[in-house]
Structure 1
Amino acid sequence: MSETSDAKHTAADEQPTVATDEQPPAVGTEADGVGVAAVPATVAGLPATAQGHFAVVNANGTLARGFGAVSSTRLALGQYQVVFIQNVASSAFTATIGLTGSVGTSPSGEIAVVGRAGVPAGVFVQTWNSSGVPADRAFHLHVSS
């Protein structure tokens, strides 16, 4: 290697490894797909009517309120799992950072949502501060099925 390559290699080796692109493994009853369908599916596999479920989750991971939400859990700093009463794997997810009460000012930040690996009724949520550093943030999540 050249001197320049060695310097780049050494600098890269000193960077801490942070696995922000991986979900922690699913455990417990949520991994078993616990839940019941709120509306029977049609022959095509689609719900007979469109449904909207929501969850309002505190920064510590507890469920403040919701409709169709079974549970919410803080998995790690800025990582949450929200489980609903039915399989949401083919649903659309929308989330925003926001306080769980009706007054106050929410801290700024960023949020991302995706289906929960290993939990068909679950949604995986990640939150960060405005600098992109993982941070616990309260949020509102809507699932359209």
Structure 2
Amino acid sequence: MNTKGKLVSGIVVGGLLSLTAPPAHAHHAFSAEFDAEQPIELKGVVTKLELVNPHSWLYLDVKQTDGSAKNWGFEFGAPFSLKQKGITKASLPVGSEVTIQGYRAKNGKDFGYAVTTVLSDGRSVKTGGAQDAPGAQANGQAQ
């Protein structure tokens, strides 16, 4: 193979490998996004569950004092660990009511990190996956 052929092959292989890598911002430390000084507990109705790597997301409509609903997003752990704990689209269907205990985002937007999720059947499940989240080691969240 000539030099030009090797260069083209290298570019093609490098391009294909870059397509399989997750975005650099996708995996982050708890402290990069969430504020350990802002614990939250919110009850809401499930609007969407995304079981994706490296972090799954649950979206809830949370009723406001004026009666309107605000959609919140909560970061969960990886799909594999959630499945081991019984978290699936069947256990968190759209329309079910859940309570999230966790921490608010540093930027003040309507999303947070879910340490614990109380399902509509009353089960309490550790849904976070960050090893550096407050209480993660004590609560057996480390993955």
- The structure with more helix, counted as a fraction of residues: 2
Fold shared by both chains (TM-score > 0.5): no
TM-score range, shorter chain: under 0.3
Tell me: higher relative CO, structure 1 or 2? Use CA pairs within 8 A at least 6 residues apart: 1
TM-score (norm 2): 0.28
